Structure formats: structure tokens, C-alpha cells
Structure 1
Amino acid sequence: MTYCVGIHVDAGLVLAADTRTSASFDDVRTHGKMHVFEKPGECVFVLMSAGNLATTQAVISALRRDIENPDAPFSLFKAKRLYEVADYIGRVLVANQAQVNKKAQHNSVSVEATLILGGQIAGGEAAVRLIYPLGNWINASPETPYLQIGESKYGKPILDRIIDRDTSLEDAARCALVSLDSTIRSNVSVGLPIDLAIIRDGELRVSQQVRIDEDTEFFADIREAWAEKLAAAVHTLPPFPWETTTGNA
């Protein structure tokens, strides 16, 4: 399985993804699900994937081929608007799902994939978009400024409680890591390392990018601090009525 989250705040974008893939119960591997395409000063795109690995690899290869081919009718670096990028990736996704499905038609494995696109083109606004297997897509909204794919339920509460468009990029990144950590703790199909990328609004490049594993000190500090503060918060919650009347508060 997979868990990826893209967050859009006024200051820019935060994107984070785990790296665990599973071909079977006992075949667990690490594979990057975050892919960066950038032309500094002109455009930057980060694509994260969940679903069939053969499909997502085919999509990424197709996108890179079009970038490298000057005669390609369209590519990421030829786009003028971010919605054009989302439409284009949707078409590439649908086409490659069909190709992979032909090869796997006698198997019961799903060939579908879902993508999160985050990025910005010079002259336009930054945005995060979720691209569905059918090729259609949705935007993150001011009311819900994040999008998730994969095993999303365990990491959702902190995003709902904390993230809004005024949240700083660094706080949004910390929330993304706690969201990933909560998912990793509750679901064995999601695991370290974590890929984290930050795009500051207007910079038109990936401002910070890091891979986080068990030995990453600041991530260990975040995990420990979050666990301690959650436990402390429980002990400060209001007492039940019977606790105060029986003197057991």
C-alpha cells in the first residue's frame, strides 16, 4: 500500500510520501513514489503515486520521454497553465493503464493508479491536484487545503485539526510527518523512508527535499515529542462527573 499527502498553504506546497511497496505478503520493498520535474525559474512539478507500480513507472517514463523529445506535441515543460499539466498527465495515465491492462488481462491484479500533482508555473499560482484513474482531477480547496492518496485514514485527523491556508510551510511539513508517522504506526503496509519536498510560492523550484529514515534525528525528535505531548494531553482532559464527586479526580 501507500500513503502520500500534498498540502497547499499560502506560503507554498508541502508534499510527502512513504516508500514501501508490496508485491505479496512477504515481498516488501522500498521504492520511491515521489518524482520531481523542474525547470528552475520557469516551472516545478512534483508527482506522487499510489496504485499499480508498473502503471506509475510507465507514466513517469512517458512524461520524461516527452520532455526529452523536442518534437513531442506536448510535455510538462511546454505547459502554460497548471490545469494543462493535470489534463495531460490524466491522458498519459489512462493510456498507460490500458497498455498495462493488455499485458495483465489474464490476471486479477488492478492496474489502476492515482496521482497527486503539486507545482507551479511562472505567472500562475501554486496548486495541489489529485488525478484519478479515469484521468479527471480535483484541486485542494481553501476549506480543505490538502489531498491524500493511499492509506489515508490514520493520518487525516492532524491535518483536519491543524492545517489551514495560514499555516506556515514548516508547520505544514511537521504535520505531514506526524501524519505519515501515525499511518506507519497503524498500518504495516506503509513504511519508512519518507520523501519530503517543499515548494515555496514563487521560487519555481523544489526549495527543500529530504529523505527521512529511522536514523534521521529530527524525525525521531518529532515522533518522540508528539507521543509525549499526546500522552500529557490525555492526562489534562476534563474529569468525568463521578471523578469529582467521589474524590478520585
Structure 2
Amino acid sequence: MEEVHTVKSYDEELAHLTGIIARMGGMAEAQLTAGLQALARRDDDLAQRVVAGDARIDELDREVQSFAVRLLALRQPMAVDLRQIVGALNISGEIERVGDYAANLAKRALVLNRAGITAPVAGVVRLGEMVRGLLKDVLDAYLEKDLTKALGVWSRDEEVDAMYNAVMQDLITLMTEDPGTIATATHLLFMAKNIERIGDHATNIAEALHYQILGTSPAGSRPKGNTVGGPE
């Protein structure tokens, strides 16, 4: 049962914290979407906007850290309230990393656009769309406090690993058969790895939400595929 507060301002402060996380998450999802579009459409202007937009996510992350520390100091929360504040700190950090990876995608898209793309990008874009779906679902789960939806994201990490492996193998085969694609394919390998890592952060958010709601981690080990070695 959730705690009922007698101080209205405390509820408003917790709602404010959730609101910052919601804005961060929406921006990170938009950044990932735009980064993928910049790659698919060879859109330099869009890629540059993604790179510039990462600073705003960083600002919101710092705002979460500051506000959460203030709440911990002034309210001295316990039980579910403490988990909500600590969970916000953890989730904010995960979203900030998603923003970083989206910006990295855009930076590599700029490099590829200027150098000339000699390898197909469709596989990386499909992987990105799958991961964007996970990110959207876990952010919705956070706002709705929907544990079932969060666990659904957590369990789908294996699907991301499987598609990542397929994209990696296709790119490695392409480089082996056509050395002219090596430069482009190498960038795409890094981009695929960045996207796979965004998927990991989405499942980390699901785990943090599970702990926030129930005070425990999801039962069992996170479903993981056997990912092939790739760039970090």
C-alpha cells in the first residue's frame, strides 16, 4: 500500500521529481528517433540538432540529482518514498546515458554522410527501432507505475541481443566480401553497439522501477543472448 502524506507540498515535490524524469525520458526517446532518421535520410542538419540537444538532457540530469538530494535531506523519506527518490536518481542516470549514445549515433552519422556511405544502414536502423520501442515502453511503465509493462521490457532484452548479433554478422560478412565497405561498416558496427547499450539501459530502468515499486529486483537472471564481440 502506498503511503499517504499529510503534507501536500511533499506530494507536489515527488510529482515534480517524476515530471523531470518524464521530460528527460521524452527528450532521450526523441533524440534516439532523430539520430536514426539522420542516419537513414543522410540528414546533417538533423544530426547536428541531436548532438546539440544532448546538453539539455545533461542539465535535467543535474536538476534531478540536486532536487533528489534536497528531498532526502529535508524530508528524510522512508519505505516507498525513499525508493521513489533513489529510483529517480538511478533512472535519471540511465536516461542520461541514453542521450549520450543517441548523440554518438548522430556524430557518426555526420562522419558517414561526409565520407560517403558504402554499406547498407537498414539493419542498424531496424535494430534502433526495436530498441526505441523498448525505451518508449519502459518510460511509459515508469509514468504509469506499470510493473507488468516494465517486466515485459526486461524480458525482451534477449530479442535485442539476437538482432544485434545478426546485424554484426551481416556487417562482418560484408567487410570480408567487399573491402571497399570497411570504413562505413566499421562506423555502423560502433553504432549498432551503441544501440544495443541503449537497450541495456532500458532494461536497467525496468529493474530500477521494479525495485521502486516492490523493494526487490526481478526474480531470476536477466534474459541475455550470447552477443558476439564488438566495439565498445
TM-score, normalised with respect to structure 1: 0.26
Say which structure is richer in strand: 1
Say which structure is richer in helix: 2
Rg larger in structure? 1
